[in-house]
Amino acid sequence: MIEILRVIYSSSLLQMRQSFARATFRFVIVIQPIIFAFMTYMMYRGSGRENYLAYVVLGTGILSLWSAITFSSAGDIERERFMGTLEIITATPSNFQLIIFGKVIGNTILGLMSMVITFVFVAIAYQVQLTIEHPVIFISSLLVSLLSFMGISMLMATFFTLSRNARALMNVLEYPVFILCGVLFPIDILPLWTRPLSYILSPTWAVKILRESVLGIENTNLFMINVLILLAITGIYFIIASISFRKIDKQTRIKATLGVH
Amino acid sequence: METIIQVENLMRVYDSTIGIIKRKKIKVNALNGISFEVKRGEIFGLLGPNGAGKTTTIKILTTLLAPTSGNAKVLGYKAFGDEKKLRPRINFIFGGERSLYWRLSGRDNLLYFADLYKVDKETRKKRIPELLQLVGLTDRADEKVESYSKGMKQRLQIARGLINDPEVIFLDEPTIGLDPVGARDLRKMITMLSDLGKTIMLTTHYMYEADELCDRIAIIDNGNIVALDTPQNLKKLAKGLAVLELKILGIDKMKVDEIKAVPGIATVTIKQEDQVQILQIQCEDPSFMTQKVMDILSENEVIGVNIREATLEDIYLKLVGGKL
């Protein structure tokens, strides 16, 4: 057990050190949230909504978290492949799934940093005091949401390990999720055919429960249902990721996709 | 002596595509059913030109690649199938500067891999300083790898490859890109590892390196083993052969083909050195052959002629058809 925890701990630490050493990632973590916050503030200012700053903070926070997780989890596999370390880490006695899980935790922690930067920026720049209606529920919702984002990250990591053309996919994934999951606008305004896509993406449910726990829960039953849906989708992500990880050890060696030679 | 590596009829086929718009799937045979064995404590060399199948062989044996057919066993375990049991007991070092985390320090790289190889805390505490000492990086251990020279990165790779105290070490072109001093130091290190009782398998395309280090050498070309013996026995293949070396300015393929067709000539290879081409002709009677070759080259500018005895490198060139 200690060995497993060590692998996860040292992989997440390595991930954070590696990521933070890159200027692009520092931009994604520190500068981008501020730009997002400014843009969403300008958009929401004239919306006439009460407590619109909560929308700004939450929307931007989730945007930043998502960016950090997708950008890093996807790009890192590719980077490791080009550095030649992907082959090395897969050939160690440690479970590759645990190594990636550690890396995803590292990314999530950095993503959270991004969220905090957004909170601080909005609070200082717009001189507002942000109120959270249900702090305990908010923290619990945040934890469930983070778990869900980690599930997506693990799932994506399996695709990126198997495919050498995954880099394109990484760039495609970031923006549509903002729209499809209702991070800034309600999904009700989107065409009906996009709805199934929104529903299978866990950020849609994460946004709902986070927003309600900040602004106030109108219907407890509905809130609980949303939490359960989020947990179920997250569970499915982890199950598919785990099955995929078991398969990729063999598949990558048959397809010879671990290195670039 | 105990057999540590056992390879039987090993084949590997890669799927690839050609063309951009009309993509066509093709199969590339990297290994065509090679067989060999390596005994405990041996330094075994795989020698061959680029694309011969050396790296593919190493990757299969280090559990990084699946064979298409045939058997590959290390320490009695199948490289594809028993990897869980095999991985803790082997390690590998690839040539070049990759396979390290450049933005971390040398020490942090070793610490991370110690965790991945499940080296316990006590052992790690003792082993990492020892390894840093062994590869001469103690003073620079806390600097980022990106600031290291090529030779230092190679040495750090050696330390990483020894982090789990492996019984079998695989080295893929370990001295590639190193300056002569760096390459010599690395060869010393390999000899020292062998003295510690490690079984070592290395690939190289430097003949002298294989000659200096290896107990036995397999020469591999186009996915086939074309010779397998001790360096001493391989050298015996050169007996009776001599090399006629000509320095020429501008020789075309037709002339080379004409020379190749002369009866009594074993092989013809061309090396380019600056603007001069060096034609190496292996034959039994170079004095007799000189006139014949000079006749063919009557329209070319020949700026030097030399006759020498054949070396191990010439044997290698003969076996792999001058594709060095």
B324 pLDDT exceeds 60?
A: no
Per-residue model confidence (pLDDT) at position A71: 67
Please give the pLDDT value at position B300.
84
List of chain B residues whose C-beta atoms are within 8 Å of the C-beta of residue A258: 64
B123-174 pLDDT per residue, tens: 999 999 999 998 889 999 999 999 999 889 988 998 999 999 999 999 998 8
With 50 as the cut, is the pLDDT of residue B323 above it? no
Least CA distance to B94: which residue of chain A?
A84
Q: Where are the alpha helices (DSSP H) in B140-219?
A: 150-161, 180-195, 207-213
Question: Which amino acid is located at B36 in the chain?
Answer: F
Structural domain contains residue A24: yes
Question: Å from A65 to nearest chain B CA?
Answer: 24
Prediction ipTM score: 0.85
Going through A96-140 in order, the beta strands assigned E by DSSP cover none
* pLDDT score of A68 more than 50: yes
Which tokens go with A175?
């923006």
* A-B Cβ pairs (cutoff 8 Å, strict): 80
What is the per-residue pLDDT for A261? 45
**Which of B92, B101, B118 lies nearest to residue A18, judging by beta carbons?**
B101
| Number of domains making up chain A | 1
Q: Is the pLDDT of residue A237 over 90?
A: yes
Nearest to A28 by CA among A66, A79, A58, A82: A66
Does A260 fall in a domain?
no
Q: A93–B118: do the CB atoms touch at under 8 Å?
A: yes
- For residue A18, the chain B residues in CB contact (below 8 A) are 101, 103-104
Q: If we measure between CA atoms, which residue out of B322, B295, B287, B304 comes closest to residue B246?
A: B304
CA distance A36 to A41: 8
From CA A192, how far away is CA B22, in angstroms rounded?
A: 38
Work out the number of other CB atoms within 10 angstroms of the CB of residue A132.
15
Tens digit of pLDDT for each residue in B200-238?
999 988 888 888 899 999 999 889 999 999 988 888 777
Task: Check CB contact under 8 Å for A85 and B104.
Answer: no
Range of lowest pLDDT (A4-8, A25-29, A51-55, B195-199) = A51-55
Mean of pLDDT values over A193-210: 91
Q: Which residue has the higher pLDDT, B256 or B74?
A: B74
Q: Which residues of B touch A6 (CB under 8 A)?
A: 115, 118
Confidence of residue A37 (pLDDT cuts 50, 70, 90): confident
**Chain A residues interacting with chain B (CB cutoff of 8 angstroms):** 3, 6-7, 10-11, 14, 17-18, 21-22, 83-85, 87-94, 99, 249-250, 253-256, 258-259, 261
For residue B261, CA distances in Å to A189, B44, B136, B272 come to 80, 36, 53, 22
Encode pLDDT of A112-127 as tens digits.
888 888 888 888 888 7
In a domain, A261, yes or no: no
For chain A, give percent helix, strand, coil, nearest 5: 80, 0, 20
Residue A143 lies in a domain: yes
Residue A257 CA, chain-centre distance (Å), reads: 25
Express as a percent the part of chain B with pLDDT over 70.
Answer: 98
% of chain B residues with pLDDT over 90: 47
For the cut 60, the answer to whether the pLDDT of residue B80 exceeds it is yes
Q: Closest CB to A93: pick one of B80, B87, B104.
A: B87
What pTM does this model have?
0.82
The CA distance from B307 to A146, in Å, is 75
The pLDDT score that the predictor gives to residue B50 is: 83
- Residue A240, pLDDT > 90, answer yes
> Residue B38: what pLDDT?
96
For residue A238, pLDDT over 70 is answered with: yes
For B257-288, write each residue's pLDDT tens digit. 888 888 888 888 888 877 788 888 888 788 88
Q: Are A19 and A34 in contact (CB under 8 A)?
A: no
**pLDDT band with cut points at 50, 70 and 90 for residue A167:** low
Instruction: Give chain B's contact residues with A (Cβ, < 8 Å).
Output: 14-15, 55, 59, 62-66, 80, 83-84, 87-88, 92, 94, 96, 98-104, 108, 111-113, 115-118, 160, 164
B16, B112, B119: best to mutate for the A interface, most A CBs within 10 A: B112
State how far residue A92 is from chain B, nearest Cα, in angstroms.
Answer: 6
Contact B320, B224 (CB under 8 A): no
A91 with B92: Cβ contact below 8 A? yes
Answer yes or no: is pLDDT of A260 > 60: no
Q: What pLDDT is attached to residue B102?
A: 92
Cα of A114 to nearest chain B Cα, Å: 22
Do A192 and A210 touch, CB atoms closer than 8 A? no
> Which among B98, B108, B111 is the nearest to A83, CB-wise?
B98
Strand order in the sheet with B301-309: B265-273, B276-283, B242-249, B301-309
pLDDT tens for each residue of B32-65? 999 999 999 999 999 988 888 999 999 999 999 9
Chain A residue whose CA is closest to B120: A3
Higher per-residue pLDDT: B154 or B313:
B154
Question: Which residue among A22, A91, A94 sits closest to B118, beta carbon to beta carbon?
Answer: A94
Measured distance CA(A73)–CA(A107) in Å, rounded: 7
Nearest to B116 by CA among A109, A16, A242, A91: A91
Which residues form the domain of A155? 2-255
